[in-house]
Structures are given as C-alpha cells and as structure tokens.
Amino acid sequence: MEDIIIIFLLSLLAITAIAIIFMRNMLSVIMLGSIYSLLSAVIFVVLDAVDVAFTEAAVGAGISSVLFLSAFAVTGKRQVLKQKNKLIAFVTVSLTAAALIYATSDMPYVGDPNAPVQTHVAARYIEQSGSEVGIPNMVTAVLASYRGFDTLGEVAVVFTAMIAVLLLLLRREEEELDREK
Amino acid sequence: MLSGLYNYWIAILLMAIGFYIVIAHSNLFTKMIGLNIFQTSVFILFISMGKVDGGTAPILSEAYTAYSNPLPHVLILTAIVVSVATTAVGLALIVSINRRYKTLDEHEIEQQELEQE
C-alpha cells in the first residue's frame, strides 16, 4: 500500500516538473515550483523523514516562493519565456540520465535494511543517541550534537549569503546617488 | 519489484528535467526554478536511501524498534537551508542584472554586451 502511495506521489511530482518545462507564463512557473516543493514535502513524510518534510514545506515551498514572487514583482511582468538549443540540451540531458540510470542497476533496493548506508554509523545513532544525547528525536541529536560543526558551517553559509544579498541589492542605491550628483 | 529502484529513477528524471531547464530556457528566472528542481531531486535520492522497510520516523519511542536512517535526514535538512540561501543570492543577482540590462533573457544580454563593445 505504501509503495503505491509513493509511486503515485512521485509520478505527480514528475508531471509537475514536466509541466514547468512547457509553461509560457512566469507566474505559473513560480506557482508550479511551489506545488512541486509541497509535493516533495508529502513524499518526505511517506518516506519517514518528518523533520525534512516540515523544513521543505516551510522553507522550500514557503520562503522560496516568497523570494521568487518578490523578485518577480521587482523584475517586471513582461518576461518572455523562450527555449533555445533544444536538441543539444535534450541530447546532453538524455545521455546524463541514461548513464545515471545504468548506475542504479547495482544499487540496493529502497528500504533494504542490509544496504551499506544502514549498517555503518546509523546503527550507532539509533541505539546510542537516546542515552548519549538524551533527546528522543534522533535527527535533532545528530544535527545539534554529533554533527554540530556541520550546522555551524551551515550558519556560516547562510550568513555569507545574507551579506552577499545585501551587498548586491544596496550597490544600486550608490549608483543612483552618483547619477543624481 | 517495480518499487525497488523506482524512487531513484524518478529522482534521475527530475534531475534531467531541472538540468534541461537550466540549459534550454534562456530566461535567467526560469533557470533558477530549474536549479531548484535539480536540488529537490537530490533530496529525494538521499531520503529514499535512508528509508527502511517496516521502519518508522527516527523519533525514539517504546512502541517501535525499527527506525529509518536519521543521517540522510540531517544532511538534507542542512541542504534545504543552504539551497534557500543560494536561491536568495541568485535572485539578488538576477534583480541587479535586470536593473542594468532591463531584460532577463541571456541572449538579449549577450547582444547588448556586443553592441557596447
């Protein structure tokens, strides 16, 4: 039953993505992008990744869409959506996808409890994190304790991105001031 | 066993669609949406790897003994936040490009550059 739900949701996701290619209207592209994020959040719930699901729903579907819509409002509504070099792009993408699909042929099946990804460090997180860190949510335990430095790096990235955005958006005002002089 | 590798194939299809949009669409804005699709496909690949049959969400409870792998979830949590940060930088770049060239079409931008030289 769960398999059928996952296959149905993944197919919906693929249809949404294909629809984005053929859209001519920028607003519908943005809205379909938002639907795409929300659908992937639902898939994360079915795949047991609840923390990822609510982050994706809040950040991916929420904040991203707000960012896209505000950038769309600033850049103007008369965007022309054109595609060029369709054939070259299609061939490149098909070759890449074919190579990757060939590579999946020796991957362990989804849900296999004996797959290499399940048998190394994950077992320790599941068995020990309750007594070592003392909170029931393993994802939080790994994020904030075992891999705290990763999270510190993430904060550094977000901070750098914020500075970059501010610099890019404020630079224009200086140019305007120069022109007024 | 259709479902055994189905998740991976859809992740690859989505990656291909995102890649195609980045290459073929000439509007910078649509390219950003394509990048987002690409990123989400990687998220689905990782989360699919962490799934364990019969497992539940990785939150300790006395009622369950089998849990899905929490490690991919942590990695993807970090990736989602970073992806929004990079999207914000990309959109800021797009806004300043639009202010300078009055267009977001990469071919028109190229032409304007040639005319200036």
pLDDT confidence of residue B3: 59
- Nearest Cβ partner of B77 from A52, A86, A121? A52
Residue A181 has pLDDT above 80, yes or no: no
Mean pLDDT of chain A: 85
Cross-chain CB nearest to A55 (options B40, B77, B92): B77
Domain assignment of residue B46, given as a range: 3-52+67-116
In a domain, B60, yes or no: no
Per-window interface: B 3-62 vs A, CB < 8 A = 3-10, 12-21, 23-27, 29-30, 32-34, 36-37, 40, 43-44, 47-61
pLDDT attached to residue A156 = 93
Cα A131 to chain centroid distance, Å, stands at 32
Q: Concatenate the DSSP letters of all residues of chain B into one string.
A: --HHHHHHHHHHHHHHHHHHHHHHB-BHHHHHHHHHHHHHHHHHHHHHHH-BTT-B-SB--TT---B--HHHHHHHHHHHHHHHHHHHHHHHHHHHHHHHHS--BHHHHHHHHHHH-
User: A121 and B86 in contact by Cβ < 8 A?
Assistant: no
Tell me how many domains chain B contains. Answer: 1
Q: Is the pLDDT of residue A95 over 90?
A: yes
Q: What is the pLDDT of residue A172?
A: 59
* Tens of pLDDT, residues B16-55: 999 999 998 888 888 899 999 999 999 999 998 888 888 8
Percent of chain A residues topping a pLDDT of 70: 92
Residues of chain A contacting B76 with CB distance shorter than 8 Å: 49, 52
In a domain, B57, yes or no: no
Per the prediction, chain B carries an average pLDDT of: 87
Indicate whether B59 belongs to any domain.
no
**Reported confidence tier of residue A177, pLDDT bands at 50, 70, 90:** low
B85 occurs within a structural domain: yes
Is the pLDDT score of A179 beyond 90? Answer: no
- Categorize the per-residue pLDDT at B89 as very low, low, confident or very high, splitting at 50, 70 and 90: very high
Nearest CA in chain B to A95: B16
End-to-end CA distance of chain B: 60
At residue A48, what are phi and psi to the nearest 5 degrees?
75, 10
d(CA B101, CA B103): 5
Is residue A176 scored above 70 in pLDDT?
A: no
Residue B15 has pLDDT above 90, yes or no: yes
Q: Which of A68-72, A78-82, A152-156 has the lowest mean pLDDT?
A: A78-82
Q: Which residue in chain A has the smallest CA separation from B23?
A: A89
CATH of the domain at B20: 1.10.287.3510
